[in-house]
Each structure stands twice: as C-alpha cells, then as structure tokens.
Amino acid sequence: MDGLSIHEVHKQDAIIMFKRFHYLGDKEFIHSIAYGLYKDSELIGIANFGSPSGISTMKGWFGRSNDDEVCIKIYELNRLVIIPEYNGKNYGSYFLSRCLKLLKKKG
C-alpha cells in the first residue's frame, strides 16, 4: 500500500487519537506499546497493546498470574482506531498484520 508506514508512538500520541476517534474517548487504558499508521506523514491510525487486563485472564488462558515471567511478554490489542475517512480501504488489516510482525520482532 503506497505511502503507508508504521512506527512506534508514545502513549500521549495514542491518547490524543483515542480521545478524538475511539468510542471510549479518554477512558484510561493499559499501555505497553503503541504503533502509529502513517499515510505519507499524516498519522491516520493507532494500535495500542498492553498486558491482559486482569489476573483472571492470565489464570484462565494459561493457569498463571500476570506477573509470571512467562506472561510478561504477552500482549493484547486493547485499542485500535483509524481515522474514519480511511476506513473501508483495507488499512485496518494491513496495519494489524504489520503490528503483529513488529511485536514478534520485539520478542
């Protein structure tokens, strides 16, 4: 997809985009890492990943606690937003697939 790039962004950039475009607005969220989707130099989307939201999640999925060493590098997508003008152009699928590859490289 021409003109698209993905870069890690600060939580503050994610907050601004979520407040403006996400249905939960400025409600607090767990943040470990966020990626921004850029078209040319315009930030058009954010995907935020964080630790699973509760100890019961890790216990249910893996039988472990959130602070277990095995679970520290497990992330869940907890917020995703793409500016509405860019919805329906397959940007979401493209963006998430690249984010997952970047997360995998991080280890």
Radius of gyration over every alpha carbon of the chain, rounded to an integer in angstroms: 15
Q: Which of 46, 51, 50, 58 has its CA nearest to residue 83?
A: 46
Tens of pLDDT along the chain (107 residues) come to 788 999 999 888 888 887 887 666 676 666 678 999 999 999 999 999 887 766 666 666 666 665 666 566 677 888 889 988 888 788 999 999 999 999 888 76
Q: Is 91 helix (H, G, I), strand (E, B) or coil?
A: helix
CA distances from 47 to 21, 24, 52, 69, 97 (A): 12, 14, 15, 24, 11
What pLDDT, on the 0 to 100 scale, is given for residue 54? 64
Neighbouring residues of 98: CB distance < 8 A, sequence distance ≥ 6: 6, 35
